[in-house]
Structure 1
């Protein structure tokens, strides 16, 4: 019930385009430790971030030399006061460029930002000009604009590591990227993303909601993921298969409208079946493109949802084992 309430909070945010969920430093550190080799001599762009309060900027500024960065650019939609959530009548967005000079180091806690002529929306011409300079984009974009945000990254051929809702996997645009091996899930998923900082007007739903030592209000929806096109060795680790299809056929029901068998849990994927298998979307967190091929999402030969004896299991991804 607690998770349902918090998920409802995210749905309300999406509907209202509020999107006021801000990433904790601990979650950024937990994920970014797996990608450090990608950042040497690179320009990082955090284009949904106020550098005065953003934990993404804080992480990259504090690790600038260790990562071997060339530059950090952060930009923010419209004016925000030192209170991250306080409304303001100022309509201009702003940005900050950091190259680790002594002067800039002294400004980490209070950077001198430059103002856009416009509102700083990630789709604005001014923001796009900054995007063109970037090698890697790392941020928590607006969930309500996730499709459009990713589409822009793909259009400009950018590397990225961003946070989204798990349901983003089911968007046809996002799933297409995953199926074509152009994007994949990061390391942390669900409870691996421990929670988001929210403003005062958000209710602290859920048993895991809390106020931390700094007074930040935290909610933990437990249904978020990292989406990226930065490779890691963990992505190429095989899923260990221990079950067998032959001799246990009755445990693997066949679909009414597709020549394939249904798998309810990733750990139940048989090691000896070479045909199509429908697996839950959580499979993507362990998906190794060297081991499996993604065939299709959700639909049977009749383009209706996959069904078993007239009933449709929750979204299934059709895959084949490349090793058989």
Structure 2
């Protein structure tokens, strides 16, 4: 069954303080299996995760020996509220450190968390102290704070594998990282992220929203991605190009405000065009930095959106082929 757009759901989450989207274990397993060599002897930090219910923590605790991990840390935010009379915060964030000892193995189902002094926000001093211990951060951060979250990881020089909205590609801060080869898209995108568990107060939007056999309420936005700076096989695979520009120029109109041609689909990128091409943002899922150079995003020479005969195609990434094949 075709999915209906569920942008309404994601916009609702973006405006929410809680950002209560919980990742399914099947989606974590589907992505993480491609990065296993990166985790040997590493400390993993899941800093947006209640260790008692987080599927990220469950994955790493269950696969601790197979991955050869050193430690897993999971921390959780709790919004603090003050009593009007005594102004004492009623809730605190908490964390848990797992090192796969016999004692921890036997009590994994009844985790005893360690409370923070504060709310456990990923930006808090307490959370940052845990971040400093970590080698790799893996989680589903708040959609509404994605820019700030990634900026913190980069500023602390951390490896990461995180889930975000596809629209994050269009954020200038995120696009800059991708352009400079400091971050890239993971293996799964869109339908590759099958859905999120949401709490009772979220409406089940979309034709594929469902309640699973465990009673979890699942929504399938179909517009999420994994963003990472962990290397994988996919980013070293060339896009197989079969179409030609010369002889088919009418299929590739030129921009009004930039010396380049428009390409509507990644599969239609011509193999013989030496100049700059505007490609859809989904191109980044197949982007190999050895094959293409990213020039800029969205804007023409006049700093206005790229246009063709006065009309603006959807956002385009301007790229150039490094492995040009001369047309015969």
TM-score w.r.t. length of structure 2:
0.94
Distance 1:79 1:17, change over 3 A: closer
**Alignment correspondent of 1:254:** 254
Tell me the distance in 1 between the aligned counterparts of 2:42 and 2:254.
Answer: 49
**Alignment correspondent of 2:83:** none
Tell me the distance in 1 between the aligned counterparts of 2:240 and 2:3.
Answer: 33
TM-score w.r.t. length of structure 1:
0.95
**Alignment correspondent of 1:320:** 320
State the Cα distance separating 1:235 from its structure 2 match: 1.1
What aligned pairs does 1:1-324 form with structure 2 within 5 A after superposition? 3-4=4-5, 6-78=6-78, 90-324=90-324
1:8-54 Cα deviation digits (max 9, x unpaired): 01101212333111000000000000000100000000000000000
Tell me the distance in 2 between the aligned counterparts of 1:263 and 1:173.
Answer: 24
Tell me the distance in 2 between the aligned counterparts of 1:313 and 1:17.
Answer: 33
Tell me the distance in 2 between the aligned counterparts of 1:189 and 1:12.
Answer: 21
State the Cα distance separating 1:106 from its structure 2 match: 1.5
State the Cα distance separating 1:208 from its structure 2 match: 0.4
Is contact 1:79–1:94 with CA below 8 Å preserved after alignment?
Answer: no
Q: CA RMSD in A?
A: 1.3
State the Cα distance separating 1:300 from its structure 2 match: 0.3
Distance 1:112 1:79, change over 3 A: farther
Is contact 1:193–1:224 with CA below 8 Å preserved after alignment?
Answer: yes
Tell me the distance in 1 between the aligned counterparts of 2:289 and 2:79.
Answer: 43
Please list every run of 5 or more consecutive structure 1 residues that lacks an aligned counterpart in the other structure.
Answer: 81-88
Is contact 1:164–1:224 with CA below 8 Å preserved after alignment?
Answer: yes
Tell me the distance in 1 between the aligned counterparts of 2:294 and 2:16.
Answer: 34
Residue 3 of structure 1 aligns to a residue whose secondary structure is coil
Tell me the distance in 1 between the aligned counterparts of 2:56 and 2:192.
Answer: 17
Residue 261 of structure 1 aligns to a residue whose secondary structure is strand
Tell me the distance in 1 between the aligned counterparts of 2:256 and 2:79.
Answer: 55
Residue 323 of structure 1 aligns to a residue whose secondary structure is coil
Tell me the distance in 2 between the aligned counterparts of 1:256 and 1:107.
Answer: 65
Residue 72 of structure 1 aligns to a residue whose secondary structure is strand
Tell me the distance in 2 between the aligned counterparts of 1:38 and 1:316.
Answer: 33
Tell me the distance in 1 between the aligned counterparts of 2:34 and 2:268.
Answer: 28
State the Cα distance separating 1:249 from its structure 2 match: 1.0
**Alignment correspondent of 2:84:** none
Residue 40 of structure 2 aligns to a residue whose secondary structure is coil
Moved over 4 A (4+): none
State the Cα distance separating 1:248 from its structure 2 match: 1.0
Equivalent pairs, count: 315
State the Cα distance separating 1:234 from its structure 2 match: 1.5
1:83-110 Cα deviation digits (max 9, x unpaired): xxxxxx8421000000000011112122
Tell me the distance in 2 between the aligned counterparts of 1:162 and 1:293.
Answer: 24
Residue 226 of structure 2 aligns to a residue whose secondary structure is strand
Which deviates further from its counterpart, 270-279 or 17-26? 17-26
1:38-93 Cα deviation digits (max 9, x unpaired): 0000000000000000000000000000000000000000289xxxxxxxx84210
**Alignment correspondent of 1:84:** none
Residue 272 of structure 2 aligns to a residue whose secondary structure is coil
Please list every run of 5 or more consecutive structure 2 residues that lacks an aligned counterpart in the other structure.
Answer: 81-88
